[in-house]
Structure 1
């Protein structure tokens, strides 16, 4: 696995850019590029969400790199990028942007889906949601 395929990685407290992530995965050998953008929605569990915040463990970026390295070892990835936001976010803000380019579209879809799913299940980032009814909830690794 060529570690250079990881072109962009970050846990940030500033707004995310789809263009930055998209630009990071451009590769002349890629026939397919898949991009996923996660944004803050106005509801969850049929309850109106007013805002949320994300917190990350200090090891989160290292964990994200490990996830990306495993995917790159298993699939013919040409380039990959992932950034996740932390701090207070409003409805519509971007929370996470990931992209993967591969020689073919099926591989790109598979790698991108695995990247977002593994990020959510394995990287220590937590979501704190606040609801319009005054309730709140913490969601495990996101």
Structure 2
């Protein structure tokens, strides 16, 4: 857990969430473009009603506009699905530090220690690669800890 806290501190200093911010900026740009296309759609309808466009011209231009709107909507949806989740490293550092401090102190209630560890650990997997499963088996085992990030 100590090395994980150090990793979080490095990521906090280097501001690793820049990728998330740039992806969010792309989505905002696409949404502005979609707003512009919606305004253009309204203008086309107004021009048809006022008689500046014939039905043929309106249909031709409206088809192109609807294709552009569909393309932008799909791009926004795809960008939203690939948007990385924002991670609050300050909060993670505080949570992991609090859990680590409680483990090192004897005066903390075990139920509180358990609760703090549950905030940090998602899953622990224990495995031993042997056929002999007795209490006298000294085969080394592995423990994989999956942290809650």
| TM-score interval for Structure 1 and Structure 2 normalised by the shorter chain | under 0.3
Structure with the bigger RCO (C-alpha within 8 Å, sep 6+) is: 1
Structure 1 length-normalised TM = 0.24
Structure 2 length-normalised TM = 0.23
- Point out the structure with the larger strand share: 1
Query: Who wins on radius of gyration, i.e. which is larger?
Result: 2
- Point out the structure with the larger helix share: 2
